[in-house]
């Protein structure tokens, strides 16, 4: 296996991040490429969930992955094992990606032959939520061991996301995690939030999520 390409991305120079994000979405629309921005805490299972997502969809969609981390290429090496085009973005200590930083990644990845580009954002529930990356949809993962109080403590990320994956449901018996309470408080933050309980480890619930994603990509490409 070839070593994964590591891109050192630079701080963004654009004053108006929202305008830049809209411009990126406009270009992706022309290319018929869907960009998903995936956010979560460190260790909630973003990479394992992505692996399962790619397994389910790689025969039906042309997929490219950008793994963003402050350091290391651990995740990109794992993802590259799936055979989909993968690059590692290093943020140089920055805790999030904005639109300009995302665009540097998209250019390095190459998107004109992709149906679906996925950005695995830096593990953090705070800063990534503050920046529109230019993604068509935002998804977040909350894992069972993190606890059901997170929509109360980290309101913004639940507000800006379209989809919430509640991961690691295979360990529900070992944690005091109130599924009804988390769904209720997440919907209080964002009534339109789509919620999928999943286990990336066992595969439970993954198909419902990947079907939703497949439909969202098809809509973006104008096929529905």
Residues of the shown chain interacting with a second copy in the complex, contacts defined by CB under 8 A: 41-44, 69-72, 74-75, 93, 95, 122-127, 130, 143, 145-147, 149-150, 152-156, 168, 170-171, 174-175
CA–CA distance, 20 with 143 (Å, rounded to integer): 32
Which of these, 4, 206, 181, 173, lies nearest to 87 by C-alpha position? 4
**CB 22 → a second copy: shortest distance, Å?**
23
**CB 78 → a second copy: shortest distance, Å?**
10
Nearer to a second copy, 154 or 214 (CB): 154
H/E stretch holding 131: none
**CB 160 → a second copy: shortest distance, Å?**
13
Nearer to a second copy, 85 or 150 (CB): 150
**CB 156 → a second copy: shortest distance, Å?**
7
Q: CB burial class (10 A; 0-12, 13-18, 19+) of residue 32?
A: middle
Nearer to a second copy, 71 or 219 (CB): 71
CA–CA distance, 207 with 196 (Å, rounded to integer): 10
CA dihedral 195, 199, 204, 208 (to 10 degrees): 30
Nearer to a second copy, 19 or 126 (CB): 126
């Amino acid at each position: 296996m070839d070593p994964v390409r590591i891109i050192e991305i630079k701080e963004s120079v654009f004053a108006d991040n929202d305008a830049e994000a809209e411009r990126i979405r406009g270009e992706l629309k022309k290319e018929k490429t869907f960009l998903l921005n995936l956010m979560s805490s460190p260790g909630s299972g973003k990479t394992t969930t992505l692996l399962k997502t790619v397994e389910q969809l790689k025969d039906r969609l042309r997929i490219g992955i950008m793994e963003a981390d402050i350091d290391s290429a651990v995740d990109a090496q794992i993802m590259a094992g799936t055979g989909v085009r993968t690059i590692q973005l290093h943020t140089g200590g920055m805790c999030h990606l904005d639109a300009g930083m995302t665009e540097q990644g998209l250019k390095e990845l190459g998107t004109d032959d992709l149906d679906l580009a996925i950005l695995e954002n830096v593990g953090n529930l705070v800063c990534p939520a503050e920046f529109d990356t230019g993604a068509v949809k935002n998804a977040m993962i909350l894992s069972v061991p993190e606890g059901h109080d997170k929509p109360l403590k980290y309101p913004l990320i639940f507000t800006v996301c379209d989809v919430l994956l509640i991961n690691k449901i295979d360990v529900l018996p070992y944690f005091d995690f109130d599924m009804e309470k988390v769904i209720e408080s997440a919907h209080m933050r964002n009534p339109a939030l789509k919620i999928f309980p999943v286990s990336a480890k066992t595969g439970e619930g993954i198909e419902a999520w990947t079907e939703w994603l497949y439909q969202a990509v098809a809509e973006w490409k104008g096929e529905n």
